[in-house]
Chain A
Amino acid sequence: MKAHYGYKDGAGDFFIIIDTDNCIECADHPCIPACPESVLEIIEDDYEDMVCAVTMDHRKKIKYSCAPCKPDRDRPPLLCVTACPKNALEHLW
């Protein structure tokens, strides 16, 4: 499932897209400890698979939650995206 977590507001589109089919086979979920802001968690989805998701707490403010990882100048690769062995994570902004 391509889960789009986040929002669209007047300022733009702020979505983290997780292709959760990849997570089912992912043993260690390395994305979770990689995120310094604890934005991600593993949940049991509606089809009883254990997959990665953005926590409820962060869903309506990820533009701000993820801001420390996204300086406008010299932006390094994102820690969660780099940690994922399956390329399952994508940030839209």
Chain B
Amino acid sequence: MITAGIDMGSKTIKVVILKDGEIIGKSIELAGFESREAAEKAFAGALEAAGIAQGDIEKTTATGAGRKNAPYTEHEVTEVGSDARGVRELYPNARTVLDVGAEEGRAIRTTDEGKVLDFALNEKCAAGAGAFTESMSRALEVPIEELGPLSLQSDASIPMNAQCAVFAESEVVTLVHAKTPKQDIARAVHDAIASRIVSLARKVGFEPDVVLIGGVAYNTGFVDSLERALETKIIIPEDPEFVGAYGAAIIAAEGL
């Protein structure tokens, strides 16, 4: 049985193809301004990796903010549903899922059976999601991939006052002018965003194991801040940004 999951994120589009529970192809594309085209491209990439044709896929489930625009799709699930399902498959002991993407942060609490018990969202404000770190990397003039390793070099904790991505950019510029070491600023940025994700986790009453997914999970500085604030170890899967699409593909298979 072959199924596909497509995660129509605001910034990137992910496709995972499953055959009898095994991932046989996956692909990611920047959403850009033509998300439909990008989705088709991502699909083509995953099909090629799997060495199959579109017609071989029995069912496709879409998730993500733009799931209404997904091509080749028979069925949709919410991000909460697909995240929880994907994480459950990878880590049966997970009870809390944190998903931090470009434009949204999410905390999901699941039962011992893997059912969604509660969830909370940060949405529509860049300060609560990956877009915040992107703005700050611009203000710091440090590429986003280097922001994490840079902040790990810091052992000073300085506060950030601004709670808005726009005002925080000015604050970062002021700190740079005041000759504050860049690694300390980077850490302050990660502490700031982590504190907002922690509040979501608290809201859903987080329990271990805690699994972090979404593109921002690649940011080691953010993970460090998050672990410090939550006072717990966090599990990060190998391909954190594909977990939603993976969950959707599993849900597609279960529906058959």
In-complex A–B contact (CB below 8 Å): yes
Asked if residues B163 and A11 are in contact (CB atoms below 8 Å), the reply is no
Q: Which segment of B65-73, B92-100, B120-128, B231-239 sits at the interface?
A: B120-128
Indicate whether B199 reaches chain A with its CB closer than 8 angstroms: yes
A64 to B202 CA separation, bound complex (whole angstroms): 10
The one of A11, A61, A67, A68 in contact with B123, judged by C-beta atoms closer than 8 angstroms, is A11
Asked if residues A64 and B195 are in contact (CB atoms below 8 Å), the reply is yes
Which residues B104-146 have CB closer than 8 A to chain A? Answer: 117-120, 122-128
B-side contacts of A60, CB under 8 Å = 161, 163
A-side contacts of B117, CB under 8 Å = 73
Which residues A59-93 have CB closer than 8 A to chain B? Answer: 60-61, 63-64, 67-68, 70-73
1/0 per residue, CB under 8 A from B, across A21-44: the answer is 000000000000000000000000
A-side contacts of B164, CB under 8 Å = 9
The one of A11, A61, A71 in contact with B204, judged by C-beta atoms closer than 8 angstroms, is A71
**Closest-CB distance, A25 to chain B (whole angstroms):** 34
Asked if residues A73 and B118 are in contact (CB atoms below 8 Å), the reply is yes
**Closest-CB distance, A83 to chain B (whole angstroms):** 22
B-side contacts of A71, CB under 8 Å = 118, 203-205
Chain A: interface size category: 10 to 19
A71 to B163 CA separation, bound complex (whole angstroms): 22
A9 nearest CB neighbor, chain B only: B125
A72 to B204 CA separation, bound complex (whole angstroms): 8
**Closest-CB distance, A16 to chain B (whole angstroms):** 16
Asked if residues A11 and B128 are in contact (CB atoms below 8 Å), the reply is yes
For this complex, 30 residue pairs linking A to B, each with C-beta atoms less than 8 Å apart, are A9-B124, A9-B125, A9-B164, A10-B124, A10-B126, A11-B122, A11-B123, A11-B124, A11-B128, A12-B124, A60-B161, A60-B163, A61-B163, A64-B195, A64-B196, A64-B199, A67-B120, A67-B199, A67-B200, A67-B202, A68-B202, A68-B203, A70-B203, A71-B118, A71-B203, A71-B205, A72-B118, A72-B119, A72-B120, A72-B203
The residues of A with any CB-CB pair to B shorter than 8 Å are 9-12, 60-61, 63-64, 67-68, 70-73
The residues of B with any CB-CB pair to A shorter than 8 Å are 117-120, 122-128, 161, 163-164, 195-196, 199-200, 202-205
